[in-house]
Structure 1
């Protein structure tokens, strides 16, 4: 059994370099006190934003500058905490920064509401008369788009006070699902017991042991099934909350409110569902192939996650991964590769697992820092693609911060997964060209097909379910447990086809999905993935002109334009079906390759 290293045993060259943020903890605490003392500056601008252009400009720049410093503090503290969560010094540091952030937010809480009280013509007059305000024009006018849905000061205060009790449904679900629910152990074909948790479920479902998969699946849905009516109540409660908010503010629907807040046209949502539904025969073909390759008389949902290509020796060390990354992203050109090389060699990446290190992977950073990537490296293909994915986020952040002022440097969540997924697609293309081992090619194709299935087909199914349950409630149809089970079961059958048995268990899957409490969030996984595939295809077929456009119009754009405009300028119109259709065509090509290759072996 391999023992994890302590943090101090990890080679410094494999750790991120946080001295680029603060040279020492003492320097951090000095800056902490400066930011803390600056919080009271907020009070001097309260009720005065409309008094003059100069006052508005001073308020905005004060808020922006102090926000930057606060973000810098937070990045330093949370990275130190995540590299060793058992270190109480850094846990306390992170907690103090979070507390400071709460104080900062409270001090400036009046800001947006007061901006919204300014008449649009007055706002334009103030902007026109002050050169400094002109750089904030897009943001200020954008904020005013929420004015028709903003209530009086007293009404807004009531809604703010109501936000905590209105959050009971999702909080109840979260506590139940993460803390209270217990699962039976799953027995494998040898009679061995395996502990089933939220964390272990996915890994167990990938097992080649079908007995273990079935028992894990039954354990999960037995537990959730016992609380079918309780979880119907929590989900119905959060839908009620969304509908209440939309009606009080005057939106057409709960979906209209959720998408308007991100400046997304509802047609994007509808086009996604329509286009994916038109291409469901491709998913049916893939599930039928899975059933055939697994040699099953009857295939259940617990058979959907075990790899079709197994026992492949496809080891990828971190040093090999770096080489693959540079080769894979070559189509992006030298300027982009220079960013990747800088990150790989100048302390952006914390590579290996150590005792106490936070699990998973992410890209972090702020306007005043370089990007940072957390990994827990294992020598496999999945980690290689994770590294490419996180470098997509990091390069996107790096370029947006380099080319945009702070207030325009954060990109919309709608485009957040595009750069990361585009990197993965370009890497996969290069690997297909260079790999000679047919089994490794099969493994890679299986990886891509599963990624598309899970991100485009499955997340679109989630999005369709979420839209339908909100529509039902808005039309006065109660969301009973039976109604939710029937709706979800029918959608599962429609999406996965006749090759898969839709049983009573899978009809209750809705009851364990936390994303249904996120308010029309999941569709963005599918749209982002589709946009990335469409862009990667353009890059590979048309070359540098597309790269230049993509880097300038999207990766460097931040939030200087609406998210749909940013993508359209980069070459993808998400208000049309075309990007979704193109992405589905790529899935079809991969499926053709997979079938042809597996039949040749």
Structure 2
């Protein structure tokens, strides 16, 4: 039975991230928060003066410096809030940091419209000026967005509404992390088990089917009881994106979201079409799951169940750390040594505690360590999560070692590449010498689950988003009934005829936080497909592939993401990388089926 969650004060310091490397304490953060007002106010002096290369260069320098300060303030408060979402002081810090960002956006909203109002020949001359060399790519990208930039007054109005427009996501997060509670349930032995947002997936990964079913019913009962609230928050979020896209003269909210990274919508549509072509392989996996579990009916609460008992597959945190080091060894000595330093410098907040945000993430700034939040529970999935988030953080580290502050953030489109390369390197390392059938099947299950969760499932989410936003653009109601029906239909399409679709499944969309960042989830699938290609090259080609890969990690925001990926050797403007990735999924599935046959014939 899972242990009861500890309070944060009961967690040993060595397993908490060290935020003193950002600010000595909350009082130091408070001092910095008060001091930034002067920097924000100083930006207003540039209004009406952005007409030549020298002044625009000075503006860009000042804006970059201000953004660094605001990023530090916001990141620290966000990390503190994640530690315990019930803590009112951290919630207040987060809200105040967000308010500073909004205020800065209001004060500086004049800049882009003022610059873009200059004559075309003047803009081109400024772009070519030597003073603009450190910002040439960023300034050229600004010119690209000129047709979708509004007047100064309109941009200021939109900026002033930033906090309001982000409210639906904030409401959903608070409801899920702080207010939503679930009934405790009985496991197969009749013992009572607590159900929380942070332990739900762990319970669904149990080999106790009674516990899985009961926690599934309890969990979605909680969401069903609040489904009208979730429907209202998500509908508001979608409509905000639709309204902004229309105001900015985009053909759709999807086109607007993708245009920021210069990604054509054809990349999105090719992804969905290619994955749908490979749905029969997903149906094979569902059928294999049903066969191994030996159930008459496969329900949604069976889709995370281990195919082999995990009683011998529990890992301590030190073991997990070493497994990550072993996995990334092909990336070279510098990479490995920096991962060791990440452990020593306490980048990672390791274990779950009461009130802690669920899931895992990497977050940091140009001036901080790239911190990692996890909820480590000892499963292989938890180990993979550390490898995954370390990939994010190492991507950040390489970028910030090689790029100036203005290019220190890689785009979301490539954000999942490095993380998934690490996961794939880990699973390949574990599979390399493992021939014992049960242990091998356990690893293959993890590999198949990675594909299922990161490609198939995320593309299913991507279809949900594409249709939900299209419904709003057509003027159709985005009420819970419509969203439930859409989600249920996609579950049937993606999981196939062997899955029994329980009524609770239709509410799952309400628990997906990424839906509040429109058209983000598809990037998991493109990122995973890219990572398959890169990890295969790293293992098979060696040093030349590693060199290209580390150069890619070092590019940050200094080029468009599709160009960065081409540099690494992957072209996502064609269906080929996704098609190749899912062909590999089929080969892993072949291996799993053959391994099962060996077990049955032994």
TM class, shorter-chain normalised? 0.7 to 0.9
Partner of 2:556: 558
1:49 lines up with 2:47 in the alignment: no
Q: Distance in 2 between matches of 1:5 and 1:164?
A: 31
Asked if structure 2 preserves the Cα contact closer than 8 Å seen for 1:572 and 1:579, the reply is yes
Q: Structure 1 177/313 Cα, relative in aligned 2: closer, same or farther at 3 Å?
A: closer
Asked if structure 1 preserves the Cα contact closer than 8 Å seen for 2:127 and 2:139, the reply is no
- SS of alignment partner, residue 362 of structure 2: strand
- Counterparts in 2 of 1:126-275, with a 5 A limit? 126-129=126-129, 131-157=130-156, 159=158, 183=182, 185-222=184-221, 224-225=223-224, 235-275=234-274
- SS of alignment partner, residue 372 of structure 2: strand
Q: Structure 1 272/78 Cα, relative in aligned 2: closer, same or farther at 3 Å?
A: closer
Q: Structure 1 102/225 Cα, relative in aligned 2: closer, same or farther at 3 Å?
A: closer
Q: Structure 1 202/77 Cα, relative in aligned 2: closer, same or farther at 3 Å?
A: closer
Asked if structure 2 preserves the Cα contact closer than 8 Å seen for 1:28 and 1:73, the reply is yes
Partner of 1:60: 60
Q: Structure 1 391/178 Cα, relative in aligned 2: closer, same or farther at 3 Å?
A: closer
Q: Structure 1 346/467 Cα, relative in aligned 2: closer, same or farther at 3 Å?
A: closer
Match for 2:575 among 558, 577, 581? 577
- SS of alignment partner, residue 557 of structure 2: coil
- Counterparts in 2 of 1:97-116, with a 5 A limit? 100-116=100-116
* 1:57-79 alpha-carbon deviations (Å, 9 max, x no partner): 11111221233244345555665
- SS of alignment partner, residue 414 of structure 1: helix
Q: Distance in 1 between matches of 2:229 and 2:409?
A: 39
- SS of alignment partner, residue 363 of structure 1: strand
Q: Distance in 2 between matches of 1:479 and 1:71?
A: 34
Partner of 2:123: 123
Of residues 495-504 and 415-424 in structure 1, the stretch that sits farther from structure 2 once superposed is: 495-504
Q: Distance in 1 between matches of 2:193 and 2:62?
A: 55
By how many angstroms is 1:505 displaced? 3.7
By how many angstroms is 1:224 displaced? 4.7
By how many angstroms is 1:423 displaced? 0.8
- Counterparts in 2 of 1:257-406, with a 5 A limit? 257-351=256-350, 360-375=359-374, 377-406=376-405
Asked if structure 1 preserves the Cα contact closer than 8 Å seen for 2:105 and 2:159, the reply is no
TM-score by length of 1: 0.87
Q: Structure 1 555/192 Cα, relative in aligned 2: closer, same or farther at 3 Å?
A: same
Q: Structure 1 503/279 Cα, relative in aligned 2: closer, same or farther at 3 Å?
A: same
Of residues 89-98 and 577-586 in structure 1, the stretch that sits farther from structure 2 once superposed is: 89-98
Of residues 365-374 and 274-283 in structure 1, the stretch that sits farther from structure 2 once superposed is: 365-374
Of residues 340-349 and 425-434 in structure 1, the stretch that sits farther from structure 2 once superposed is: 340-349
Q: Distance in 2 between matches of 1:231 and 1:24?
A: 36
Of residues 176-185 and 439-448 in structure 1, the stretch that sits farther from structure 2 once superposed is: 176-185
Q: Distance in 1 between matches of 2:123 and 2:444?
A: 54
Q: Structure 1 452/143 Cα, relative in aligned 2: closer, same or farther at 3 Å?
A: same
* 1:180-209 alpha-carbon deviations (Å, 9 max, x no partner): 766555444455554544444433333333
- Counterparts in 2 of 1:80-95, with a 5 A limit? none
- Counterparts in 2 of 1:486-525, with a 5 A limit? 486-525=485-524
Partner of 1:443: 442
* 1:216-265 alpha-carbon deviations (Å, 9 max, x no partner): 33444455556767765655554444333323322122221121123211
Of residues 423-432 and 477-486 in structure 1, the stretch that sits farther from structure 2 once superposed is: 477-486
By how many angstroms is 1:291 displaced? 0.9
1:38 lines up with 2:39 in the alignment: yes
Asked if structure 1 preserves the Cα contact closer than 8 Å seen for 2:314 and 2:379, the reply is yes
Q: Distance in 1 between matches of 2:89 and 2:260?
A: 38
Q: Structure 1 107/246 Cα, relative in aligned 2: closer, same or farther at 3 Å?
A: closer
Q: Structure 1 34/422 Cα, relative in aligned 2: closer, same or farther at 3 Å?
A: same
- SS of alignment partner, residue 124 of structure 2: helix
Q: Structure 1 221/87 Cα, relative in aligned 2: closer, same or farther at 3 Å?
A: closer
Of residues 400-409 and 301-310 in structure 1, the stretch that sits farther from structure 2 once superposed is: 301-310
Q: Distance in 2 between matches of 1:302 and 1:573?
A: 37
**Structure 2 gap ranges (5+):** none
Asked if structure 2 preserves the Cα contact closer than 8 Å seen for 1:272 and 1:580, the reply is yes
Asked if structure 1 preserves the Cα contact closer than 8 Å seen for 2:395 and 2:553, the reply is yes
* 1:432-466 alpha-carbon deviations (Å, 9 max, x no partner): 12446443322222112112111211111111122
Q: Distance in 2 between matches of 1:90 and 1:223?
A: 26
**Structure 1 gap ranges (5+):** none
Asked if structure 2 preserves the Cα contact closer than 8 Å seen for 1:10 and 1:354, the reply is no
Asked if structure 2 preserves the Cα contact closer than 8 Å seen for 1:7 and 1:84, the reply is no
Q: Distance in 2 between matches of 1:226 and 1:21?
A: 40
By how many angstroms is 1:335 displaced? 3.0
Cα RMSD after superposing both structures: 3.6
Of residues 428-437 and 278-287 in structure 1, the stretch that sits farther from structure 2 once superposed is: 428-437
* 1:383-412 alpha-carbon deviations (Å, 9 max, x no partner): 322221122112111111111111011100
By how many angstroms is 1:271 displaced? 1.0
By how many angstroms is 1:283 displaced? 0.6
Corresponding pairs, count: 597
Q: Distance in 2 between matches of 1:179 and 1:32?
A: 26
Asked if structure 2 preserves the Cα contact closer than 8 Å seen for 1:312 and 1:439, the reply is no
